[in-house]
Amino acid sequence: MKTPGWEVLTRHSSDLRRCSNILQEQDPLARPDAALFPERLRPRKAVGPDRVCPRMLKACSTELGEPLQHVFNMSLQLGRVPVLWKTLCFIPVPKKKHPREPGDFRPVALTSHIMKTFERLLLHVLRPQVHPAQDPLQFGYQEKVGVEDAILYLLHRAHSHLDKESGAVRIAAFNTIRPLLLRDKLTEMRVDPLLVTWITDYLMERPQYVRLKGCTSDTVVSSTGAPQGTVRSPVLFTLYTSDFQYNSGLCHVQKYSDDTAIVGCIKDGREGEYRSLVEDFVRWCRSNHLQLNTSKTKEMVVDFRRKKPHLQPVSIEGVDVEVVRTYKYLGLQLDDKLDWTANMEAVHRKGQSRLYFLRRLGSFNICKKLLQMFYQSVVASVLFHAVVCWGGSSRWRDAGQLDRLERRAGSVVGTELDSLVTVAERRTLDKLRSILDNTHHPLHDTFTRQRSVFSRRLLSQSSSTNRLKHYFVPLAIRLYNSSHSDEAAHHLLCDCWRGELENYTAGTGSKEGCLGSLLALGATVDTGLPPPTLPTDTPHTGFISMMWVSQQK
């Protein structure tokens, strides 16, 4: 029996069947798991303009996997995208609680779920080809980096300059819109011509309409920009902006998707490089058909000198950029004192509002497991957002407010929750290890230069101010060295215990010495290190194991 969804599905490939003789023998998407991608769809997602339900695709993934794979390869090799696949239905999503004008809405596009599956497959083909040309300071939509890494790198450059130089740091934040075309830039990156042709056809002549509260507008055809809400658009935008890169000793440009920040470290009042960089960026945006949102462009000056010189504002196209004392960058409130006071106040207010919902949920006698899940997803996600950036630099009074909020949440959940310091230290250590494992991370060389040639420890970073001392890099190094010190002490006690055990077995040692070394070894169990291994023929193994278990308890 043919369902309505199946009739719509058969219309997708009607214009491709007549061109099957053009296909090459090798399939670009002949991956072992390509046929399984429909199974990874989320069944509760909204239906796209093609009216193909993701629940149906997921349920019929076994039957539809190979046919869709064949159609995908046909579309890619012909460089043509079916019109129904690139049709967009825009749903205006409010940015504010009470929107009043069109700029208060974010246009999110609903697209075909078959097209989304195709886009995810093509990302595996596109990423290796464009990796050498990507901007190393683009933190958006990249593997193993994110919001925390972007903020950490920005603050690392600012703290390092302010700790050594008696100058200022000027931070200008820009916000850009989607690009027009990518064909020339992808060709310069030596992307496969078939893929370039397919992407160009995908961006050109897209039918689109708007749906709001049951009302649907007329369909228009657009050939500009990349729609927000699709799988490929964020990656295409990062590639479009990757040809503007700048990173010197005093200035650098870093990006997170369409948010761009220019950081200039001013020394002895010399601002020429910083102003020239801003002018070059504005000129590049104009030549690449990118429109700067001057209303969202702000500048923040960080200067701890007592006598602060007067700085001329930066001008963009004849309009002076507003100088602010606080700026919300990637969800965090940055201030010109770098003490995180404004951010802690915002986190505390938001945490209190989330705690209200946790209390209401607890009043319905919900089980402890569901309360913990709600806490981790709703409350903790707000309290500890990017905690590695501000956890060690926040004032004790602000940290105490969050700890009290944590204790109140723990009383509702019915368990003792980790404090702010515990969570910050654990996540800081995890972030450091991920940076050391990622050779492409912008801070990777900063830590590898601190490696000791005599041990696995990292050399401490010198700092002349407490501001830098409690920042991420020095704090992470101290935590890393402390963890290795505990591990070294554990292994040393293991060797001592084995020596005492061998002496006791040979009759030259005492039972008290063996038990004493065992007790000392058991005291290191809170580090999470495993117990020492013993040969199977060791006498009194059962007694020793019992003692180890008792020390663990």
> What's the DSSP call for residue 182?
-
Segment 195-223, tens digit of pLDDT: 888 988 888 888 999 988 878 888 988 87
Q: What is the reported pTM?
A: 0.79
pLDDT digits (tens, 9 = 90+) for 253-284: 999 988 899 999 988 888 899 999 999 999 99
CB count, 10 Å around CB of 235? 22
Strand, helix or coil for residue 524: helix
Mean pLDDT lowest for which of 167-176, 285-294, 358-367, 389-398? 167-176
Structure tokens at 257: 């998707």
Task: Determine the average pLDDT of the residues in 75-96.
Answer: 88
Per-residue pLDDT for 123 more than 80?
A: yes
Kindly provide the residue ranges of all beta strands, DSSP E only, lying in 455-524, ordered along the sequence: none
Lowest average pLDDT, out of 160-174, 293-307, 365-379, 470-484, goes to 160-174
Instruction: Give the helix/strand (H/E) hosting 419.
Output: none
For residue 403, the model assigns a pLDDT of 93
Which amino acid is located at 316 in the chain?
Answer: I
The stretch 47-75 carries a mean pLDDT of 84
Q: pLDDT tens digit string along 288-335?
A: 888 887 888 899 999 888 888 888 888 888 888 899 999 999 999 999
pLDDT of residue 26 exceeding 50: no
Please report which confidence band the pLDDT of residue 453 belongs to, taking 50, 70 and 90 as the band edges: confident
Domains (range + CATH), the chain: 4-133+183-222 (no CATH), 147-179+238-332 (3.30.70), 341-437 (no CATH), 450-552 (no CATH)
Which has the higher per-residue pLDDT, 533 or 234? Answer: 234
Mean pLDDT for 532-540 is 49
Closest CA to 234 of 259, 200, 252, 254: 259
pLDDT of residue 514: 59
Lowest mean pLDDT among 102-111, 317-326, 414-423: 102-111
Residue 38, pLDDT above cutoff 80: no
The contacts of residue 550 (CB under 8 Å, 6+ apart) are 522
Give the pLDDT score at 548: 46
What mean pLDDT is predicted for residues 347-354?
94
Give the model confidence (pLDDT) of 475-522 as tens digits: 999 999 888 765 555 555 566 656 666 666 666 666 565 555 555 555
Average pLDDT, the chain: 80
d(CA 433, CA 421): 18
Question: Cβ–Cβ contacts within 10 Å for residue 301, how many?
Answer: 17
As a 3-state breakdown, the chain gives helix, strand, coil percent values, each rounded to 5, of 50, 15, 35
Residue 177 pLDDT greater than 60, yes or no: no
**Beta-bridge partner residues of 335:** 326
484: Cβ contacts below 8 Å, ≥ 6 apart: 455, 456, 457
pLDDT beyond 70 at 406:
yes
